[in-house]
Structure 1
Amino acid sequence: MPSSELRLYNSLSREKEVFEPLVEGHVGMYVCGPTVYNPVHLGNCRTFVSFDVIYRYLLAKGYKVRYVRNITDVGHLTDDGEDRMSRGARLEQLEPMEVAQKFANQFHDVMRTLNALPPSIEPRATGHIIEQIEMVREILNHGYAYEVNGSVYFDVETYNAANDDRYGELSGRRIDELLAESRELRAQGEKRSPSDFAIWMNASPEHILRWDSPWGAGFPGWHLECSAMSTKYLGAQFDIHGGGNDLKFPHHENEIAQNVGACGSAAGARYWLHTNMLLMNGRKMSKSDGNTISPEELFSGDSPHVSEGYSPMVVRFFMLQSHYRSTMDLSDEALQAAKKGYARLLESWANLQALEAKGGAQNGTVGKELTEGLAAAYAEMDDDFNTPRALARVFELVTRINALQGGQLSLEEVGAEELVQFRDGLGTLLFSILGLEDEAGAAGAEREALDRVMQIVLDLRQQARADKDWGLSDRLRDALAGAGVTVKDGKEGASWSI
């Protein structure tokens, strides 16, 4: 595949940087996964599809990638201090781990449907309590935390004093702003400062999820799990940490503090990547006002917000049309446009498969255009994984492919080896990197049968034209047009499309 220097936007430095992994040829990437107390949100799907493309592209560039994406099944509290898993268990009338398994299964089903590759490692917070307790010990030993009544809190002011006011570097918030904005969770009024946060919480007698610790029975803070698991599987310092924009503060800000507090000033991720939010009909998704849709409703069409169900690949293609750092606005009109665009892309891909170079000169005019256009698409991916601009380059190539198929451009201007390399490179980009699937190819038997029938019809029409039976020829053409089939006559014969 064409190769150039990969640059990515680092949320920490707020600028694009050349990507240089810690270990040549290897990448460690951690992405915050779902909290499995309810069904996965479509906005989360957008984030995980974005990082799936990033993962795929790093693999395609030849890196050996360890992709860690966690499952949060403890410690993520509601505004009134209740564990989200415990609340989910109460509402579902199930054990907390039943809730976790139910919604983890649903999450995995949706991601498979969207053709997202599984991560290398998918650790659960409840499976790493020992590591989290040990990290709390290290933070205490370094003087960045204190214990009160069985709970342990991270001391933000002490951390800032020892680390050049580092707290807030990711989110861009100053400590005085954070103090003014801080809200108190229930049972956390014992903190020395409102900016401090819990890394281990004392469990009340009725709390379901609880573990023994040196500070008494309790459970880890939500932020702690990602620090402990990223460190365990990727080391004290690693390459990439990703997640949604909404996690910058407090979750990711607190992760940075915990990693430094436990492992030293150079600990944690070197590059931070954040996806932007998914809107619907120009507004934030909200259950309270009905402006929401689930992945399943989007696929089935069982929602007042869509006119029909959309295939998972149309949905994925729609997501790829926005850069991961840009907001994305979901609407029925946008999905209709994506459906048409994706059909056009697959039609062009089928046309490309049918092309055979006819001894054309290597580096002919059209061959060079195809090669350079494909290189430009890959260059867009090297520019912070810019999928919409890469697709725009691809659709420029679609025009040329269709012109070759229709005879408007000559195959004599494309060398046989050039055509093979172009086909392989485009296929890698569309299917291995962008993660699309040839849905027409998936229904191969039906397509082949339709192709055979259409070939019979086109042969009959061609025979009518040869016999100068223009009436029959026109009737066949008009009947096909009435059925939504367009017949194109070219130098290489007639072709059809829906």
Structure 2
Amino acid sequence: MDIHLYDTKQRQKVRFEPAVPGKVGMYLCGPTVYSDAHLGHAKKEVAFDVVRRYLTHAGFEVRYVSNVTDVGHLVDDADDGEDKIARRAALEKLEPMEIADKYFWSFVDDMGRLNVLRPSINPRATGHIPEQIRLIEELIAAGHAYESNGSVYFDVRSWPRYGELSGRRLDDQEVGTREDVRDEKRDPRDFALWKRAERGHLMRWESPWGEGFPGWHIECSAMSLKYLGENFDIHGGGMDLEFPHHEAEIAQAEAAGHGFARYWMHNNMLTIGGEKMSKSKGNFTTLRELFERVDPMVVRFLLVSSHYRSVTEMNEDAFESARNGYARLRDAYREVERRLVDAPDVQNPDLTARIDAHVRAFEEAMSDDFNTPRAVAALFDLTRDVNAALAGDVGRAALTRARDAYRELGGNVLGLFAESGAAGAAQDEGELVDALMELVLEARRHYRLQKQWKEADALRERLTAAGVTIEDTPTGTRWKK
């Protein structure tokens, strides 16, 4: 099945054709590791994790590179001011690399709880200073960059295609909004490739232009080219990075003579109570704070229930709806696995045909610009038919087909069932709960066989109080949260 995606640069859906048949090179702008991850990080990471997972499901071998910015990202994304990591280091009285390590591993932990797969390669900007210096030297030699007072700037006037990705004409770009105006620039819109380290600056390296540090944009051009090569397939990131960061990445790479990303994908923002998340508005939530009251899998379900190019609204009503929706899918999946243990050897051709139809609907949705809301709807349609069939006798073949559909589509593609993905801790916890519940239900069956109705009812009431529902059916006792 052909896969179509929305290419930001072409501003339309296009058929995806990898540069090398059967292989996909994919780069994602990763975190600047100076604070705990928040919901905005979750939306981006989950969105592109699903893209990667579906490409793998479709048979591609995916190399997924996501960088770590641990130097050069200045406050307000400007060319002047404090480095975000250096400023945090001063606040916490730690070395900059201690800050970078602390928040990198915090980020990894949060993404693991969301069942986001680890990147194939997680390169750090500070580990690739030589590559960045070499790329800057190529730009100077090509006449697209210049040194000024120990810093190096990209000459945007020398690259007429600057603005193609975002659709911004150079003459229409405002001065002094995203990039500070400096006298040492030839044009106020020129952006820094290398910055002279002022006295007392904690992060500095030797370079042909004196001690300094790389600009924020150059790192991604250098690292994506190093690990994916020229003309790699997909570059992803948040919509807020489209300009100037991604625009600058393209200019730096192509002006130096390197073919760059062939497709550009951007996820939309996340809102809380109808407003963009912001510390100043008081609606800022870190993932660590959120996970104290919301199951990470519920958060992931809510994220995949919204298209990556749509605005995702997060509020208590949305979380409650996500809890119910996720529980419905999870409980059906668990019941299918439970019934498989002693399933009869009967055929259910109609059910099997409906399951296959839902699988096709899921894949059609995902092949259409990774339309996860339609894919989730296909899983709910599957669940409706499966639940209806479970009221009677369902054979092993149909149950196995249903289980495989849940495991592959809900688990391996959407990442909703942690036991099917990388979150081993969640798998262990789920297996423990299942085993304990089987013991409880066995005790209740014993009470009922011995006509100890009072004890059986008391056990059921205690389970109800704990949030567990018991259902006695002709085919056995079921439980669900």
The normalised TM-score by structure 2 is: 0.90
Inter-partner Cα distance in structure 1 for 2:100 and 2:480 = 47
Alignment partner of 1:454 out of 434, 437, 441:
441
What's the counterpart of residue 350 of structure 1?
Answer: 334
Structure 2: tracts of 5 or more residues without a match: 420-425
Alignment partner of 1:168 out of 163, 166, 173:
163
Mapping 1:65-80, distance limit 5 Å: 65-79=62-76, 80=80
SS in structure 1 of the partner of residue 233 of structure 2: strand
Q: Contact 2:351 / 2:398 at 8 angstroms: preserved in 1?
A: no
What's the counterpart of residue 373 of structure 1?
Answer: 358
Q: Deviations over 1:253-295 (max 9, x none)?
A: 000100111124xx11001111111111211112123211111
Q: Contact 1:68 / 1:121 at 8 angstroms: preserved in 2?
A: yes
SS in structure 2 of the partner of residue 354 of structure 1: helix
The amino acid that maps onto 1:327 is V
What's the counterpart of residue 107 of structure 2?
Answer: 107
Between 1:243-252 and 1:384-393, the stretch displaced more is 384-393
Q: Contact 1:240 / 1:269 at 8 angstroms: preserved in 2?
A: yes
Alignment partner of 2:266 out of 250, 254, 274:
274
Inter-partner Cα distance in structure 1 for 2:17 and 2:166 = 23
Alignment partner of 1:291 out of 276, 280, 283:
283
Inter-partner Cα distance in structure 1 for 2:179 and 2:15 = 40
Inter-partner Cα distance in structure 2 for 1:346 and 1:223 = 42
Inter-partner Cα distance in structure 2 for 1:353 and 1:497 = 13
Q: Contact 1:45 / 1:111 at 8 angstroms: preserved in 2?
A: yes
SS in structure 2 of the partner of residue 105 of structure 1: helix
Cα deviation for residue 181 of structure 1 reads: 6.2
Closer, same or farther: CA 255–458 of 1 in aligned 2, 3 Å: same
Closer, same or farther: CA 456–401 of 1 in aligned 2, 3 Å: farther
Inter-partner Cα distance in structure 2 for 1:81 and 1:449 = 56
Alignment partner of 1:492 out of 466, 475, 481:
475
Q: Does 1:253 align with 2:247?
A: yes
What's the counterpart of residue 328 of structure 1?
Answer: 312
Q: Does 1:435 align with 2:443?
A: no
Cα deviation for residue 40 of structure 1 reads: 2.0
Q: Does 1:61 align with 2:61?
A: no
The amino acid that maps onto 1:178 is Q
The amino acid that maps onto 1:219 is F
Cα deviation for residue 367 of structure 1 reads: 1.6
Q: Contact 2:89 / 2:99 at 8 angstroms: preserved in 1?
A: yes
What's the counterpart of residue 173 of structure 2?
Answer: 178
Between 1:477-486 and 1:441-450, the stretch displaced more is 477-486
Alignment partner of 1:318 out of 295, 302, 306:
302
Between 1:369-378 and 1:473-482, the stretch displaced more is 473-482
What's the counterpart of residue 159 of structure 1?
Answer: 159
Cα deviation for residue 129 of structure 1 reads: 0.9
What's the counterpart of residue 163 of structure 1?
Answer: none
The amino acid that maps onto 1:329 is E
What's the counterpart of residue 143 of structure 2?
Answer: 143
Q: Deviations over 1:284-340 (max 9, x none)?
A: 11212321111111111xxxxxxxx11211211121111111111111121122112
What's the counterpart of residue 90 of structure 2?
Answer: 90
Inter-partner Cα distance in structure 1 for 2:179 and 2:469 = 65
Cα deviation for residue 399 of structure 1 reads: 1.3
Inter-partner Cα distance in structure 2 for 1:485 and 1:270 = 50
Q: Contact 2:363 / 2:375 at 8 angstroms: preserved in 1?
A: yes
Q: Contact 2:153 / 2:185 at 8 angstroms: preserved in 1?
A: yes
Cα deviation for residue 360 of structure 1 reads: 3.9
Structure 1: tracts of 5 or more residues without a match: 161-165, 301-308
Cα deviation for residue 90 of structure 1 reads: 1.7
Inter-partner Cα distance in structure 2 for 1:373 and 1:279 = 31
Mapping 1:181-192, distance limit 5 Å: 182=177, 184-185=179-180, 188-192=182-186
SS in structure 1 of the partner of residue 388 of structure 2: helix
What's the counterpart of residue 423 of structure 2?
Answer: none
Inter-partner Cα distance in structure 2 for 1:55 and 1:353 = 27
Alignment partner of 2:216 out of 198, 206, 222:
222
What's the counterpart of residue 405 of structure 2?
Answer: 425
Q: Contact 2:67 / 2:123 at 8 angstroms: preserved in 1?
A: yes
What's the counterpart of residue 241 of structure 1?
Answer: 235
Q: Contact 1:131 / 1:228 at 8 angstroms: preserved in 2?
A: yes
RMSD of aligned residue pairs (Cα, Å): 2.6
SS in structure 1 of the partner of residue 307 of structure 2: coil
Q: Does 1:42 align with 2:39?
A: yes
Inter-partner Cα distance in structure 2 for 1:101 and 1:440 = 27
Q: Deviations over 1:427-466 (max 9, x none)?
A: 11122222222568733233333234335535766897xx
SS in structure 2 of the partner of residue 68 of structure 1: strand
Inter-partner Cα distance in structure 1 for 2:470 and 2:148 = 78
Q: Contact 1:440 / 1:447 at 8 angstroms: preserved in 2?
A: no
What's the counterpart of residue 321 of structure 2?
Answer: 337
What's the counterpart of residue 305 of structure 1?
Answer: none
SS in structure 1 of the partner of residue 118 of structure 2: coil
Q: Contact 2:236 / 2:264 at 8 angstroms: preserved in 1?
A: yes
The amino acid that maps onto 1:99 is I
What's the counterpart of residue 445 of structure 1?
Answer: 432
Inter-partner Cα distance in structure 2 for 1:350 and 1:441 = 15
SS in structure 1 of the partner of residue 94 of structure 2: coil
The amino acid that maps onto 1:21 is P
The size of the alignment, in residue pairs, is 468
What's the counterpart of residue 120 of structure 1?
Answer: 120
Inter-partner Cα distance in structure 1 for 2:168 and 2:35 = 31
The amino acid that maps onto 1:257 is A
Cα deviation for residue 198 of structure 1 reads: 1.2
Q: Contact 2:217 / 2:249 at 8 angstroms: preserved in 1?
A: yes
The amino acid that maps onto 2:303 is M
Inter-partner Cα distance in structure 2 for 1:239 and 1:481 = 52
What's the counterpart of residue 384 of structure 1?
Answer: 369
Higher-Rg structure is 1
Mapping 1:190-201, distance limit 5 Å: 190-201=184-195
Inter-partner Cα distance in structure 2 for 1:494 and 1:232 = 57
Closer, same or farther: CA 33–95 of 1 in aligned 2, 3 Å: same
Cα deviation for residue 46 of structure 1 reads: 1.6
Q: Deviations over 1:398-436 (max 9, x none)?
A: 1111112222xx53xx6x445423422321112222222
Q: Contact 1:7 / 1:384 at 8 angstroms: preserved in 2?
A: yes
